[in-house]
Structure 1
């Protein structure tokens, strides 16, 4: 059932894409949408202040420590919660990003759901050993 939602979304994107059919347009719009997501997060910090970035050097465990220690040691550097306004903006920008990602998949005749499943299987198989 879940693959139907992905397929329906992928088909809807294909039908709604009019101006940016060229792969070059899609690539540049995808890159622009990535930048807009980054900017929206930065604005949540600098304009709104609902979230704060408190970054310092990541601690790295000793060589003989287990990989589980990394999970406890490494931090996101993010504090606070998005306010409703910032959440809406970031969700909208992420939606645009997903739209252009899907457009890229369509242009290259790739199935978004298949990509998601393959990545999900890779994560489940390798777990923390994917080192991302």
Structure 2
């Protein structure tokens, strides 16, 4: 089974969203779902332990070449999500995407356009997109 397009997913969300059609309801549910993604990742560290966090300064400086900075940068994560934690994180990300799509619907924005414009911006600006 192939994944639906962003447009198909956005249309599906529009058909399924019954309770939270208010802009305020959707914005707060989107925020709540984002917190649930963060919580699921944190629990994979603090409860399961399948991933570990070892954060330290990246050690960048202004004279450093971009390719050197890229090679030096770290995720601060050790390990991999186990099957159970990965499923929970994916589920929470799915809910977050659902409410992002609902927000797009209410504001009459095509999620596909948002992704395309961000991809174009990333292609054009590259590393400078992050500053």
Considering the TM-score relative to the shorter chain, is it more than 0.5? Answer: yes
3-state SS in 2 of match to 1:30 = helix
Task: Give the equivalent residue in structure 1 for 2:120.
Answer: 121
Task: Give the equivalent residue in structure 2 for 1:42.
Answer: 42
TM-score (norm 2): 0.93
1: distance between equivalents of 2:7 and 2:129?
28
Shift of 1:72: 1.7
Q: How does 1:70-81 map to 2 (within 5 A)?
A: 70-81=69-80
2: distance between equivalents of 1:56 and 1:97?
29
2: distance between equivalents of 1:117 and 1:5?
13
2: distance between equivalents of 1:58 and 1:12?
42
Task: Give the equivalent residue in structure 2 for 1:27.
Answer: 27
3-state SS in 1 of match to 2:5 = helix
TM-score (norm 1): 0.92
Shift of 1:74: 2.1
What RMSD, in angstroms, separates the aligned Cα atoms of the two structures? 1.2
Number of aligned residue pairs: give it.
128
2: distance between equivalents of 1:79 and 1:125?
32
Shift of 1:116: 0.4
Between 5-14 and 64-73, report the one with greater CA deviation: 64-73
Task: Give the equivalent residue in structure 2 for 1:13.
Answer: 13
Distance 1:58-1:65 versus aligned 2 partners, 3 A rule: closer
Shift of 1:65: 2.3
Shift of 1:29: 0.2
Tell me, which stretches of 5 or more residues in structure 1 are unaligned? none
Task: Give the equivalent residue in structure 2 for 1:58.
Answer: 58
2: distance between equivalents of 1:57 and 1:88?
30
